[in-house]
Structure 1
Amino acid sequence: MEVLSRSGLRFDVVRPGIDEVPPVPMPPIRYVQWAAEAKARAVAKRVRNALVVGADTEVVLDGKVFGKPMDRLHARRMLRALSGRTHVVYTAIHVIDAASGDTTHGYSRTRVTLRRLSDRQIDAYVRTGEVQDKAGAYAIQARGRSLVSKIEGPFDNVVGMPMHLLRRLLREYGVSLPPKPEK
């Protein structure tokens, strides 16, 4: 939401209230797409005359979806597994015009390599509290950036909202976002 807030787009956050367990086992990229669509459809049923944007971001290592840590111990295990390795972050976006039922969707992919982390570094990071509610147990937009040695692909995808993709999808509905600010 941090990325969306800076976009100039007016929006409301509506929690979808869904169970994010798929009805059948599926490959990671399909899971991310399924979850984004399920979130968008759940919200679209409750609103009118709005574009509903559902998104899901997942960290994938060796074909396994990491999800969000259940607790600090789980976060430590995740970070140990990611330490010194390259993983993929997928974010899928599904847009529904609640009035017409029209949909569009897409996904973005970023490769992220974490530095080799000692148990002490992992414990210190877990104590920051940033691991809560974060896929893969790190927040790249905050202190978690120090854990990363390399990023290949869109940074904002890892944050959870690839704006290049959202811009493209919203343009299909005649919605233009302000251009990306220059750094």
Structure 2
Amino acid sequence: MQTLRDAGVEPEVIVSGVDEDHVTADSPGDLARTLAVLKARAVVATLDDHATVLGCDSVLEIDGVAYGKPGTPEIARERLRSMRGRSGILHTGHCLFDTASKRELRELASTTVHFADLTDDEVDAYVATGEPLVVAGSFTVDGLGGPFVTGIEGDYHNVVGVSLPLLRRMLAEVDIAWPSLWQSPKPFAYDEAEAARYDESRGGLERAHAAASAVHDLLPKGGRVLEVGTGTGSVAAELVAQGNLVHGVDLSPAMLHHARFRLPGHVALADATRLPIADRRCDAVVAVWLLHLVDDSEPILAEVARVLRPDGVFITTTEKSDATRYASGRVPPERRSQDALTHLVARAAQYGLTLDAATSFAGHNQSRSSGPDPIYPMIRFRRSTH
């Protein structure tokens, strides 16, 4: 939840798995609150330690009808055309469950939203971005859809997905002071200008698509995928387009500024050596073009092993061969890189990660000379079942 992160709170995001399509209620507000309760309870049921769990769900009400995520471009297009020039009520259900005190609080926040009179071209262009397909009511106020909302009456944060003032009051009821949750993220070297030109300077979306296709072929079908060092989210977005559920973390606020438009609600500011995820929560972890940047890859391997489920997989790019470096006009590195294959295999084995597959893919527009584009090796480790 980017809203929480911007407010200084770093949550652990756990997908509840609740089937929203088969839940009904007497009113749109009741539906939002019921879904929030079901999501919170589903997550609580998976926990081994005490925690404070927040479940949220949003529903847009227009003329008494509830609208959730459209899911397809056709439905999103139809809804946006019916909404233009009108007003609706965005209901967000909040369920806070504190396992230590066994208290469950249920609240509903509602905000009136006024929509602009969009043209057909604007609707088609907005749907083509993919953003309205994955958000309640087919719109956002903090993303590409912001210019299409002419005004709101009530809590802005509630429209984004969680009412911060309401959550603060709910936490106070279970004796948690809001300032106690504040964290200070580590700074990172990328500034906004570097992040803005990152994709273009690294081969653009063609290279991201090639990388994602290679990752996809090594992924288990279904499950929860975490990309560490997600950067601008270009590879993660391609993986989502191929049918994967992906969350991304990165240490750079500037890079995440771009990633959140590609993965709304599914990116977090976090250090790969201290992931905000409980043990054994991920079916797959992906690291593309990351390990060669770090001074020591072992802490990352340890964290990957911690968050992977038994039989889960870790997929990462590895050091390019010396031959490829010469072909692209570069000399071999002076010291052994942290993504060198032999180094990774030896270090990963200490944490129950065993090499079990490999592939490669070609870069695009990456050659620094007239030579061929570089070839990127990619390997897969599997987590032991012990």
Shared fold, TM over 0.5: yes
Instruction: Give the count of matched residue pairs.
Output: 179
For 2:147, give the aligned amino acid.
S
- Cα distance in 2, alignment partners of residues 18 and 31 from structure 1: 13
Q: What is the aligned partner in structure 2 of residue 15 from structure 1?
A: 15
- Alpha-carbon distance, 1:149 to partner: 1.2
Give CA-to-partner distance per residue, 1:52-78, whole Å, 9 cap, x none.
100011111111111101211111011
Matched position secondary structure for 2:90 = strand
RMSD: 1.6
Q: Identify unmatched segments of 5+ residues in structure 2.
A: 181-386
- Alpha-carbon distance, 1:23 to partner: 5.2
8 Å contact kept, 1:22–1:34: no
TM-score, normalised to structure 2, is: 0.45
Change (3 A) 1:166 1:147: same
Q: What is the aligned partner in structure 2 of residue 57 from structure 1?
A: 58
- Cα distance in 2, alignment partners of residues 110 and 93 from structure 1: 14
- Cα distance in 1, alignment partners of residues 178 and 62 from structure 2: 33
TM-score, normalised to structure 1, is: 0.92
8 Å contact kept, 1:7–1:177: no
Aligned ranges 1:87-166 → 2 under 5 Å: 87-166=88-167
- Cα distance in 2, alignment partners of residues 104 and 148 from structure 1: 31
In the alignment, structure 1 residue 77 sits paired with structure 2 residue 78: yes
- Cα distance in 2, alignment partners of residues 178 and 6 from structure 1: 13
- Cα distance in 2, alignment partners of residues 64 and 29 from structure 1: 10
Give CA-to-partner distance per residue, 1:122-151, whole Å, 9 cap, x none.
111112221121011112101211111121
- Alpha-carbon distance, 1:3 to partner: 0.3
Larger radius of gyration: 2
8 Å contact kept, 2:44–2:53: yes
8 Å contact kept, 1:86–1:111: yes
Matched position secondary structure for 2:14 = coil
- Alpha-carbon distance, 1:9 to partner: 2.2
- Cα distance in 1, alignment partners of residues 147 and 24 from structure 2: 37
- Alpha-carbon distance, 1:22 to partner: 5.1
8 Å contact kept, 1:22–1:31: no
Q: What is the aligned partner in structure 2 of residue 167 from structure 1?
A: 168
Q: Identify unmatched segments of 5+ residues in structure 1.
A: none
- Cα distance in 1, alignment partners of residues 126 and 26 from structure 2: 32
For 2:28, give the aligned amino acid.
P
Q: What is the aligned partner in structure 1 of residue 365 from structure 2?
A: none
8 Å contact kept, 2:88–2:114: yes
Give CA-to-partner distance per residue, 1:25-49, whole Å, 9 cap, x none.
4211111110000000001111120
Percent identity for Structure 1 against Structure 2: 35
Q: What is the aligned partner in structure 1 of residue 30 from structure 2?
A: 30
